[in-house]
Amino acid sequence: MEIYIDTANIEHIEYAAKLGFVSGVTTNPSLLAKEDPKVDVKKRILEIHSLIGGHLSVEVNSTNCEGMLREAEEIVSWFPEATIKIPMIPEGLMAVYELAKKGIPSNVTLIFSTTQAIAANNAGASYVSLFMGRLDDISSNSSEVLQDICDIWDLHAYSSEIIAASIRHPLHIIEAAKAGAHIATVPYKVIMQSLKHPLTDAGIEAFSKDYEKMLAEKKKIINV
Ligand code: E4P
């Protein structure tokens, strides 16, 4: 399962890119506004693109097909390998269908049910993003929905890739991997949390102390 970072924060993307296992970025209007409400979106997106180089999903803001297609054309003119993030609404599916005909990849966002995921796949989406955290927030079992989607994808050999989105904690990453999602898009804080273990820290502390002891002993021998 691939890991993407779900942010528009340059420092976090820069750091994540160096870790070697983060292969893409997903953004949305809220993530961009959180960094700077006055942000120059084109400039920020191109900056992100130059940092990570892999997958980059950029979301449209229109809610009608024509507007979404216009925005998609503009984003693709910034960098041709862009993936266009389209909301899971009927007009969005129409836009996905048109984009697929032109060979422009789309990521259908705000998916909360299995039937929405099937519709997005059949309209020609390249990616379907299931929002796990937001489903859990309303007491729906997101891992059950994700498991259903993954099982159906296997059964029918559907071509779109399943993204586990709205990840809130490392357990969501494990659930996504076990279900068979192709990608989990993870906030920076959760990426860092997922790398930490108290026994790793305790082990490093013990190794450093023992190394210092050895150095001190060597110094004593040299000084004798
Ligand atoms: C990713 O594509 C989504 O925009 C994102 O994961 C939403 O996450 P949130 O529910 O934490 O806002």
pLDDT in tens, 42-71: 999 999 999 988 899 999 999 999 999 999
Helix (H) or strand (E) holding 40: none
Report whether 85 contacts 58 (CB < 8 A).
Answer: yes
Q: Could you confirm whether 85 is annotated as catalytic?
A: yes
User: What residues are paired with 162 via a beta bridge?
Assistant: 128
What's the pTM value of the predicted model, to 2 decimals? 0.95
Q: In the numeric block, which tokens belong to residue 58?
A: 């950029």
Q: Report which DSSP code applies to 82.
A: P
pLDDT in tens, 187-198: 999 999 999 999
Lining residues, ligand 1, CB within 6 Å: 6, 26, 28, 109, 129, 131, 133-134, 165-166, 185
